Structure 1
Amino acid sequence: MEILQVVGFAFAALFMAQTLKHNRSDIALLISTAAGIIIFLFVISKLTIVISFLQTIANKANIDVVYLDIIFKILAIAYLASFCSEVCKDAGEGSIASKVEFAGKILILTLAMPILMGVMQTILKML
């Protein structure tokens, strides 16, 4: 199972980071960040399977590709903002982490506007 590889790698990185944290906190942070990036890159290959599946379903349901692209961008922003926020928190910078989360929420809201407008137009047509 692939999750066992991820968990094993994460525990190895955690052990190294915790061992170095008291003597060399800068290297411990680099290990933690590198481990997060490696895990992210490992998982992103699995994400392509999900994206192609969703595109197939959208094509069968005659959903406009523009909306699906917007949803994928929103998901990417959410995951990247969350990842960056966690790295900032690991580095002890909670205030920067909260700013990244806020920026992610604003960007998501901005991207969601066409979808919200489409829903509003559909509701107005029904009335």
Structure 2
Amino acid sequence: MEIIQVVGLALIATVLILVIKEQKPMFAFLIAAAAGVVIFMLLIGKIGAVIEVLKRLAEQSGMESIYLKTVLKIIGIAYIAEFGAQIVRDAGQESIASKIELAGKVLILVLAIPIISIIIETVMKLMPV
């Protein structure tokens, strides 16, 4: 029941933040950031298990590993960009958070180009000339 740990940690951090925010806003932000990092660390093991299952399925299907690696990189960029943007938003910097999200989207697009081109080539081969 990892969700109980996550929610418990989040509730404790929230109470601490509410108590400290008026006196020391910087400490409140640090508590929020630390809680986010700890929650992320609690989930790392689960993410690793999912990646192993996906690798095994890709090997069994005969899919080239480069495609799985690319998709995993894309997912990683999405999660990290979202995590970073939320932390920056917590600090009250909405414009910087938006820039983080934009950077994540551009990097995802760059990584997706080889996959998109393979899909287009496959569709073109299937179409009658």
Q: Is TM-score (shorter-chain normalized) higher than 0.5?
A: yes
Question: How far apart, in 2, do the equivalents of 1:118 and 1:17 lie?
Answer: 49
For 1:66 and 1:110, the matched residues in 2 are separated by: 15
Q: What whole-Å deviation, never above 9, does each CA across 1:13-60 have from its counterpart, x for those lacking one?
A: 111111111110000000000000010011011101100001111111
Find the counterpart in structure 2 of residue 83 from structure 1: 83
Distance in 2 (CA, whole Å) between partners of 1:86 and 1:18 is 18
Aligned to 1:3: 3
Distance in 2, matches of 1:66 and 1:122, equals 17
State the superposition RMSD in angstroms: 0.5
Letter in 1 for 2:27: I
| Structure 1 residue matching 2:48: 3-state secondary structure | helix
3-state DSSP of counterpart to 1:119: helix
- Corresponding residue SS for 1:23: coil
Aligned match of 1:27: 27
Cα offsets for 1:65-88 (capped at 9, x unmatched): 000000010000000000000001
TM-score, normalised by the number of residues in structure 1: 0.98
Is structure 2 residue 67 aligned with structure 1 residue 70? no
Equivalents in 1 of 2:18, 2:73: separation in Å?
A: 35
Query: Which residue does the alignment assign to 1:97?
Result: 97
The total of aligned residue pairs comes to: 127
Please state whether the residue corresponding to 1:106 is helix, strand or coil: helix
Question: What whole-Å deviation, never above 9, does each CA across 1:69-122 have from its counterpart, x for those lacking one?
Answer: 000100000000000000011000000000000000000000000000110110
Q: For 1:31-46, what aligned pairs fall within 5 Å after superposition?
A: 31-46=31-46
Q: TM-score, normalised by structure 2?
A: 0.97
Over the matched positions of the two proteins, sequence identity in percent amounts to 43
Instruction: Provide the residue aligned with 2:14 in structure 1.
Output: 14
Structure 1: 5+ residue stretches without partners:
none
Unaligned runs of 5+ in 2: none
